[in-house]
């Protein structure tokens, strides 16, 4: 009964806010192993501490682990909403500090083979979510796939995570180039994670920025440099986000500062089309139209 009351309350709040209010950010990387999901989770918690209503949406196909990083065992996943006719409110989980998240779950890749009826319902539920929260963070898989590229391109902005390693830098630039060629107006900023020194992180960001300006005539701003920090590994082993496990650590301070800067700047929601309307355009029906 309480679940039904909560669901009704959330829907009423969504109607009062109006559709498409949420700021939608896709967090991406050129390759795996750069700490993208960890950055996403801790960034989300830091935004929530600033009184932002945040939902983390795990869309990392094959590597969905937001629930593990939060130390939570989800009851439902996005797949359940699509396949079992649950609402978006049914599948939202609550993690540490009240952070809301939606688990990817197993079978996430099959979810993208939705027929038209399932696709329309999925988009309807997403639209309800965008009206209810301030910020949605999509934790995307490494690189761009045919299944997930629409979620990247439809976002209001993108956070591109890399490390100072040469292969990670190369792949990050490749990812940025792909996004630029697909949508030159898509705002994107760079997060350099696991930098040995601040100087190394700044130099990494400057190198990528220089290449982007030279070959794409495009500026890539630096969102943050997050230092290599033993506190991060200790937090991961404890299945607790590092901004909660050790909020005074160097990595925590970097992410908290990034969230404060992000919350203080104007939103990039300048396009007349909402996230869901853009996604509806790009998500082509697959299969037949039966449910």
Q: Is 261 helix (H, G, I), strand (E, B) or coil?
A: helix
Predicted pLDDT of residue 286: 46
User: Looking at the chain, which runs of residues are DSSP E strands?
Assistant: 23-29, 54-59, 93-94, 100-102, 135-142, 157-162, 188-195, 221-227
Residues above pLDDT 70, as percent of the chain: 87
pLDDT at 6: 55
289: its two tokens: 């139209």
Long-range contacts of 211-216 (CB under 8 A, 24+ apart): 211/173, 212/173, 212/176, 212/177, 212/180, 215/177, 216/176, 216/177, 216/180
Structure-block tokens of residue 24: 């939608």
What is the residue extent of each domain of the chain? 22-77+96-108+132-266
Q: Which residues of 231-262 are buried (b: 16+ CB within 10 A; e: fewer)?
A: bbeebbeeebbbbbbbbebbbbebbbebbeeb
Tens digits of residue pLDDT in 5-54: 555 555 545 444 444 589 999 999 999 999 999 999 999 999 999 999 99
- Mean pLDDT, residues 209-226: 97
Helix or strand holding residue 153 (H, E): helix 149-153
For residue 156, pLDDT beyond 70: yes
Instruction: For 72-119, write each residue's pLDDT tens digit.
Output: 999 999 888 988 889 999 999 999 999 999 998 776 777 777 888 888
Q: Which pLDDT score is estimated for 79? A: 86
Is the pLDDT at 211 greater than 80? The verdict is yes
- Give strand pairing partners of 100: 55, 94
Give the per-residue pLDDT at 36. Answer: 97
For the segment 251-265, the average pLDDT, to the nearest whole number, is 96
Rounded Cα distance between 186 and 62, Å, is 26
Give me the percent of the chain exceeding a pLDDT of 90: 70
Segment among 1-10, 103-112, 163-172, 254-263 with least mean pLDDT:
1-10
Query: What's the whole-number mean pLDDT along residues 129-152?
Result: 90
The beta-strand segments (E) located in 43-148 are: 54-59, 93-94, 100-102, 135-142
Q: Are 152 and 179 within 8 A, CB to CB?
A: yes
Q: Compute CA 96 distance to the chain's CA centroid, rounded to the nearest angstrom.
A: 17
pLDDT mean over 214-227: 98
List the CATH code of the domain at 22-77+96-108+132-266. Answer: 3.40.50.300
- Least confident range of 64-73, 228-237, 272-281: 272-281
pLDDT interval class at 280 (50, 70, 90): confident
Angstrom distance (rounded) from CA 52 to CA 149: 26
Q: How far apart are CA 152 and CA 159, in angstroms?
A: 10
pLDDT tens digit string along 174-195? 999 999 999 999 999 999 999 9
pLDDT at res. 119? 87
Give me the pLDDT at residue 291, please: 35
Helix (H) / strand (E) containing 172: helix 166-182
Find the mean pLDDT for residues 247-265: 96
Kindly report which listed range (11-20, 225-234, 260-269) carries the lowest average pLDDT score. 11-20
129 or 285: which carries more pLDDT confidence? 129
CA dihedral 217, 222, 228, 231 (to 10 degrees): -150
pLDDT at 60 over 90: no
Please state the φ and ψ torsions of residue 253, each to the nearest 5 degrees: -60, -40
Closest CA to 236 of 119, 105, 69, 97: 69
Q: The sheet that has 157-162: what strands, in order across it?
A: 93-94, 100-102, 54-59, 135-142, 23-29, 157-162, 188-195, 221-227
């Amino acid at each position: 009964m309480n679940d039904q009351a909560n669901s009704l309350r959330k829907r009423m709040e969504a109607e009062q806010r109006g559709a498409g209010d949420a700021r939608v950010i896709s967090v991406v990387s050129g390759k795996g192993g750069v700490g993208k999901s960890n950055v996403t989770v801790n960034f989300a918690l830091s935004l929530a501490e600033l009184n932002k209503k945040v939902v983390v949406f795990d869309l990392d196909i094959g590597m969905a682990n937001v629930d593990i990083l939060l130390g939570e065992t989800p009851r439902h996943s996005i797949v359940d909403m699509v396949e079992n006719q649950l609402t978006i409110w049914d599948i939202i989980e609550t993690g540490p500090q009240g952070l809301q998240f939606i688990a990817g779950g197993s079978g996430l890749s099959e979810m993208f083979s939705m027929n038209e009826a399932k696709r329309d319902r999925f988009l309807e539920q997403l639209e309800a979510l965008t009206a209810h929260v301030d910020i949605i963070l999509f934790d995307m898989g490494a690189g761009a796939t045919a299944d997930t590229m629409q979620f990247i391109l439809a976002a209001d902005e993108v956070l591109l995570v890399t490390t100072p390693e040469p292969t990670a830098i190369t792949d990050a630039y490749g990812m940025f180039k792909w996004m630029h060629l697909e949508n030159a107006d898509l705002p994107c900023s760079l997060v350099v994670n696991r930098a040995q020194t601040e100087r190394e992180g700044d130099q990494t960001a400057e190198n990528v920025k220089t290449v982007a300006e030279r070959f794409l005539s495009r500026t890539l701003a630096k969102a943050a440099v997050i230092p290599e920090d033993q506190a991060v590994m200790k937090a991961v082993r404890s299945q607790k986000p590092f901004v909660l496990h050790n909020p005074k650590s160097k990595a925590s301070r970097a992410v908290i500062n990034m969230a404060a800067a992000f919350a203080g700047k104007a939103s990039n929601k300048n396009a007349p089309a909402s996230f869901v309307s853009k996604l509806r355009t790009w998500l082509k029906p697959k299969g037949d139209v039966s449910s």
